Chain A
């Protein structure tokens, strides 16, 4: 059974009426469920998926691997929260494996990002090392293929 969250994850622009008819509930019920999900902090925002290359050719996105030494009381939380405050930072995640924090940054140019990493991230207390990977090409984001939907191979009409 598909849930309201499944449906909004695929398309956040579905109206309450559309959600209601897909789920077989009333519009009021759909509206109440959406509100509850927002209040409970399960849905924390809505955003469009942008083809950045098309929108701004010069814009650069990078994934930064950070190795961080954990603090006694709060582990990685303090450093992560400081990093999350910057507007340039799109995503901050604590990772298992070879490094600790994965940070995704959007900037106007390569230099922009290089400076941000060296001046803002590398200098933070507890950050041991940084590795910067520039994103060259996007193929799929949040379930959407950048090449668009594949053509329907089926016949126009069939029994």
Chain B
């Protein structure tokens, strides 16, 4: 069979992510110390695991409602209200998904007509552009810059808006840069789109992991923005529940009604065991979340200071669990830097350009590791830099 001719052109044209390419290289090297993982190192809180076991013992394993258990949606609605003061109707405005990624996919497929443009912030998580393309839309990249602390500026956004712009993806706190947008900055973005029919897909999956004085601000709480915002969040990062595949979206009813059709036909419902566990996470694990955040924060300071002391400038990330140091002073590209570091010191970090062309000149360092692990890795990176200075 001539597969190239037969398989979907749209899908064939989508590339595998640069992360996957780097994973393939890294897995050929033995005894690698990795700082490349985009998931928490903490175990899921015990109360959550126990609840899952309990419901399994009781045999609670049937399908749930398409949108998810009503109790879980009520708990999510209370949580959103408590955290950012926006209210959603658990019956019609919240849907539980298979991780945040599925929610993002549903959003694009529900809002895009062929040729619609979606403005995607880069550097950013790797799924937005491919999902836009596969939903028939056209991704339009807007780059954030180190001099703006990798925040989206109103001016950069305004330059990308055309009559075809259907939506903006706002991924803050940001993977890979760790950038956070504060209320005042979000208000400036809101002013640019206020009189236009543009949706905002606000990916707030790292909302529990911010380290600044101001609490996390959702785009939906900015005046007048709730009607156009599709809020994406989930349990993976906040509650260290990546493998449970639990996410959700919250949006006005006309939007969720369409999104729900996609979720209903493609997924049916999220895993039942995970849904019960998620109720416990949101109702009983505030203290676990606080403890993990404190631990990340200690590591964050340690890593950022470590890179700056080495002479690799690293702006202070205010959220998520990544540092994004600049490696331009070495004269190497991100790809060269990471490959050489991997081969000579067996430390794996991800080239910044895996998160968009604008990430070139930077590397993503995950600090979802113990302090001892981070210390060893930083020592090795320091050695690598010293050898680079001598040998070129």
A contact set with B: CB distance below 8 Å: 1-2, 7, 10-11, 18, 21-24, 149, 152, 154-159
CB distance from B153 to the nearest CB of A (A): 25
- What residues of B have a CB within 8 angstroms of the CB of A21 in the complex? 301-302, 305-306, 309
A156 touches B34 (CB 8 A): yes
State the CA gap A100–B41 with chains docked (Å): 41
A157 touches B301 (CB 8 A): no
- What residues of A have a CB within 8 angstroms of the CB of B39 in the complex? 154, 158
CB distance from B12 to the nearest CB of A (A): 21
- What residues of B have a CB within 8 angstroms of the CB of A155 in the complex? 23, 37
State the CA gap A155–B19 with chains docked (Å): 12
A157 touches B371 (CB 8 A): no
B294 touches A156 (CB 8 A): no
State the CA gap A134–B298 with chains docked (Å): 40
- What residues of B have a CB within 8 angstroms of the CB of A159 in the complex? 17, 19, 38, 125-127, 175
State the CA gap A159–B372 with chains docked (Å): 23
B375 touches A22 (CB 8 A): no
B22 touches A157 (CB 8 A): yes
User: Which residues of chain B from 21 to 38 have a CB within 8 Å of any chain A CB?
Assistant: 22-23, 26-27, 32, 34, 36-38
Q: Which of B19, B37, B295 is most buried by chain A, counting CB atoms within 10 A of its CB?
A: B37
- What residues of A have a CB within 8 angstroms of the CB of B371 in the complex? 10-11, 22
A2 touches B348 (CB 8 A): no
State the CA gap A157–B29 with chains docked (Å): 13
State the CA gap A19–B303 with chains docked (Å): 12
Residue from A2, A23, A24, A152 within 8 A of B41 (CB atoms) = A152
CB distance from A11 to the nearest CB of B (A): 7
B295 touches A18 (CB 8 A): no
B294 touches A1 (CB 8 A): yes
State the CA gap A2–B290 with chains docked (Å): 11
A157 touches B34 (CB 8 A): yes
Q: B350 within 8 Å of A by Cβ?
A: yes
21 A-B pairs in the complex with CB atoms less than 8 angstroms apart: A1-B294, A1-B297, A7-B298, A18-B302, A18-B375, A21-B301, A21-B305, A22-B302, A22-B371, A23-B298, A154-B37, A154-B41, A156-B23, A156-B348, A157-B19, A157-B36, A157-B37, A158-B37, A158-B38, A158-B39, A159-B175
State the CA gap A155–B17 with chains docked (Å): 15
- What residues of B have a CB within 8 angstroms of the CB of A18 in the complex? 302, 375
State the CA gap A34–B120 with chains docked (Å): 48
CB distance from A98 to the nearest CB of B (A): 29
State the CA gap A152–B294 with chains docked (Å): 21
User: With contacts A2-B295, A21-B306, A22-B301 known, is A157 near B41, CB below 8 A?
Assistant: no
- What residues of A have a CB within 8 angstroms of the CB of B295 in the complex? 2
State the CA gap A159–B16 with chains docked (Å): 12
CB distance from A20 to the nearest CB of B (A): 8
User: With contacts A2-B294, A11-B372 known, is A156 near B302, CB below 8 A?
Assistant: no
B301 touches A23 (CB 8 A): yes
- What residues of B have a CB within 8 angstroms of the CB of A152 in the complex? 34, 41
B298 touches A157 (CB 8 A): no
- What residues of B have a CB within 8 angstroms of the CB of A1 in the complex? 294, 297
State the CA gap A155–B125 with chains docked (Å): 17
State the CA gap A154–B373 with chains docked (Å): 14
B41 touches A156 (CB 8 A): no
Complex A-B, nearest 8 residue pairs according to Cβ-Cβ distance, in ascending order: A21-B305, A157-B23, A157-B36, A24-B301, A22-B302, A2-B298, A158-B38, A22-B298
Provide the B37-62 mask, 1 if CB < 8 A to any CB of A, else 0. Answer: 11101000000000000000000000
Chain A: which residue is nearest B309 at the CB level?
Answer: A21
- What residues of A have a CB within 8 angstroms of the CB of B26 in the complex? 156-157
B36 touches A158 (CB 8 A): yes
State the CA gap A117–B22 with chains docked (Å): 63
User: Which residues of chain B from 260 to 298 have a CB within 8 Å of any chain A CB?
Assistant: 294-295, 297-298
Q: Which of B305, B306, B348 is most buried by chain A, counting CB atoms within 10 A of its CB?
A: B305
Chain B: which residue is nearest A152 at the CB level?
Answer: B41
